[in-house]
């Protein structure tokens, strides 16, 4: 049992860590000094009061106080000091000191003092022992209560997990349908947005991010959770993020077993034709959820997203000739408008910014290739309903887009930000 294996703490926190004040006044030398101080007070009081009035026996009160305040040992010292005063008073009247040792009255007084001191100090010491025993019982009871409370919390957590499993089991058809609907887009951009929603609902976390991986040493942010407290980096250096790099190298689900604060809790790969092109990262998961069952659920959701992306890329390959203008990377109007709509959806639902640039130059192959060379792999180039050329900068604010505008200006290409983006669904 627990109490056979664990030693119960039998003292309260104040006794575990005695203060300097308590340690000082528990010193026997300090007790003696206190007793002597009390004795001097009563001795001075007797010298003052005795010539004036027929005062009561002050030393009886002194022995009683010493027994109450200082305990059994000091009560014995107080009794000796009080009898010593009796010897002093009789010697001052001219009596022989040796005769005082056989004086029955003095012996009787000493006996009374000693009995009073011992009895009172015994009662006080017993009371202190009883109080200490009650404190020890309270500490032991508190320890047992804490242990039982931990068992209760653990049992409640297991009960809630089983409850969630039952709910998911009963609602499995609805969950599958909802996930399928969220991953029903033919454009990768729309799938990334839907994937974040599916991951959050299925894996019960709200700090997800999807990064695109290419031949460079950086991973670019494609989608993220809309949690206002979650601010992932726009790009990750693979050499500085060992978990992402391990996912890229192994092409398997990797957990942050070292619990490194800067790293995600786990990463999962998204593959295309056997090659990794994106990574799912989750930065916050309750520790109790990190079980084998949870790992299997991550694997199932990753496969489901991969399947939807394969279908999407297959569709893009099938319409490759109809998707772009000539031999350029400029999208035709219908396809470009779809991406604008999906970017606007990601901006509203996931707080992922984007910027639309209007290229105000005559459309020649040289201009198209120059603009395309300036953009990142996550950006898009295409035409809108006004037959003008536009560049869509993914995950870029208006201020960040100024870098692209300046680079285009160096190539004698004029571009400006479209403030109010209008589109037709």
pLDDT confidence band for 5 (50 / 70 / 90): very low
In a domain, 384, yes or no: yes
In a domain, 88, yes or no: yes
Regarding whether 71 and 28 lie in a shared domain, the answer is yes
Regarding whether 308 and 235 lie in a shared domain, the answer is yes
CATH of the domain at 327: 3.30.70.270
CA separation for the pair 213, 271 (Å, rounded): 10
In a domain, 44, yes or no: yes
Regarding whether 136 and 78 lie in a shared domain, the answer is yes
Count: domains in the chain = 3
Last residue of a domain, one of 290, 318, 346: 318
Contacts for 201 with CB less than 8 Å, ≥ 6 apart: 175, 178, 179
CA separation for the pair 24, 31 (Å, rounded): 10
Regarding whether 339 and 235 lie in a shared domain, the answer is no
The boundaries of the domain holding residue 83 are: 2-148
Length of the chain, in residues: 425
Distances (CA, A) of 328 to 373, 383, 408: 11, 12, 18
CA separation for the pair 340, 425 (Å, rounded): 10
Regarding whether 343 and 210 lie in a shared domain, the answer is no
Regarding whether 89 and 32 lie in a shared domain, the answer is yes
Instruction: Report the half-sphere exposure of 339 (CA within 13 A, side-chain side).
Output: 26
The token pair at 57 is 């026996």
pLDDT digits (tens, 9 = 90+) for 210-241: 998 887 778 888 888 888 888 888 888 888 88
In a domain, 394, yes or no: yes
Which residues are paired to 391 by β-bridges?
357, 381
Residue in this structure with the two tokens 């206190």, named with its chain if needed: 34
Regarding whether 276 and 247 lie in a shared domain, the answer is yes
Regarding whether 340 and 310 lie in a shared domain, the answer is no
Average pLDDT of the segment spanning 342-367:
82
Task: Evaluate if residue 140 carries a pLDDT over 80.
Answer: yes
Burial class from Cβ neighbours inside 10 Å (0-12, 13-18, 19+) for residue 290 reads: middle
Regarding whether 137 and 273 lie in a shared domain, the answer is no
The answer to whether the pTM exceeds 0.75 is: no
pLDDT digits (tens, 9 = 90+) for 403-418: 888 888 888 888 888 8
Q: What is the dihedral of CA 207, 213, 217, 220, to 10 degrees?
A: -50
pLDDT at 31: 72
In a domain, 270, yes or no: yes
Regarding whether 221 and 233 lie in a shared domain, the answer is yes
Beta carbons of 356 and 404 less than 8 angstroms apart: no
Task: Evaluate if residue 425 carries a pLDDT over 80.
Answer: no
Last residue of a domain, one of 270, 298, 318: 318
Beta carbons of 75 and 129 less than 8 angstroms apart: no
CA separation for the pair 393, 377 (Å, rounded): 10
CB crowding 169-188: b at 16 or more within 10 Å, else e: eeeeeebeeebeebbebebb
Average pLDDT of the segment spanning 375-394:
86
pLDDT digits (tens, 9 = 90+) for 320-354: 778 888 778 888 888 888 888 888 888 888 888 88
Last residue of a domain, one of 288, 318, 348: 318
CA separation for the pair 98, 304 (Å, rounded): 109
In a domain, 166, yes or no: no
Residue in this structure with the two tokens 């959806």, named with its chain if needed: 345
Q: What is the phi-psi region of residue 71: left when phi exceeds 0, alpha when psi lies from -120 to 50, beta otherwise?
A: left
Regarding whether 328 and 309 lie in a shared domain, the answer is no
In a domain, 90, yes or no: yes
CA separation for the pair 133, 370 (Å, rounded): 87
Average pLDDT of the segment spanning 6-32:
53
Regarding whether 307 and 364 lie in a shared domain, the answer is no
CATH of the domain at 250: 3.30.450.40
In a domain, 158, yes or no: no
Task: Write 369-377 long-range contacts (CB < 8 A, 24+).
Answer: 369/328, 370/408, 370/411, 370/413, 371/408, 371/413, 371/415, 372/328, 372/329, 372/330, 374/404, 374/407, 374/408, 374/411, 375/404, 376/220, 377/212, 377/214, 377/220
pLDDT digits (tens, 9 = 90+) for 277-318: 899 999 988 887 788 888 888 998 899 899 888 888 888 888
């Amino acid at each position: 049992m627990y109490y056979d294996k664990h030693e119960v703490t039998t003292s309260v926190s104040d006794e575990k860590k005695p203060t300097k004040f308590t340690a000082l006044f528990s010193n026997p030398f300090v007790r003696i000094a206190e007793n002597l101080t009390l004795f001097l007070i009563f001795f001075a009081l007797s010298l003052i009061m005795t010539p004036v009035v027929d005062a009561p026996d002050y030393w009886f009160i002194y022995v009683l106080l010493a027994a109450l305040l200082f305990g059994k040992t000091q009560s014995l010292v107080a009794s000796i000091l009080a009898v010593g005063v009796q010897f002093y008073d009789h010697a001052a009247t001219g009596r022989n000191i040796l005769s005082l040792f056989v004086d029955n009255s003095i012996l009787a007084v000493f006996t009374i003092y000693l009995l009073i001191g011992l009895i009172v100090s015994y009662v006080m010491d017993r009371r202190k022992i009883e109080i200490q025993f009650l404190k020890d019982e309270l500490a032991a009871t508190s320890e047992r209560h804490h242990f039982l409370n931990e068992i209760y919390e653990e049992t409640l957590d297991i009960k809630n997990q089983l409850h969630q499993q039952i709910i998911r089991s009963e609602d499995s058809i609805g969950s599958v349908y909802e996930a399928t609907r969220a991953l029903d887009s033919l454009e990768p951009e729309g799938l990334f947005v839907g994937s974040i929603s599916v991951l959050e609902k299925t894996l019960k976390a709200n700090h997800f991010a999807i990064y695109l991986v290419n031949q460079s040493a950086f991973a670019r942010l494609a989608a993220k959770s809309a949690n206002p407290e979650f601010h992932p980096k726009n790009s990750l250096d693979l050499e500085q993020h060992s978990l992402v790099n391990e996912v890229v190298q192994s092409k398997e689900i990797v957990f942050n077993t070292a619990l490194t604060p800067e790293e995600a809790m786990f990463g999962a790969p998204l593959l295309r034709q056997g090659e990794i092109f994106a990574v799912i990262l989750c930065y916050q998961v309750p520790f109790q959820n990190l079980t084998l069952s949870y790992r299997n659920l991550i694997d199932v959701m990753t496969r489901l997203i991969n399947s939807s992306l394969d279908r999407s890329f297959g569709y893009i390959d099938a319409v490759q000739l109809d998707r772009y203008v000539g031999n350029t990377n400029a999208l035709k109007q219908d396809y470009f408008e779809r991406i604008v709509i999906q970017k606007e959806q990601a901006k509203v639902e996931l707080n992922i910014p984007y910027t639309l640039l209007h290229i105000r130059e005559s459309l020649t192959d040289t201009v198209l290739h120059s603009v395309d060379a300036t953009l990142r792999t996550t950006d898009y180039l295409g035409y809108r309903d006004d037959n003008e050329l536009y560049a869509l900068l993914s995950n870029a604010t208006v201020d960040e887009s100024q870098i692209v505008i300046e680079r285009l200006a160096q190539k004698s290409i004029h571009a400006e930000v479209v403030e109010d983006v209008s589109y037709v669904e």
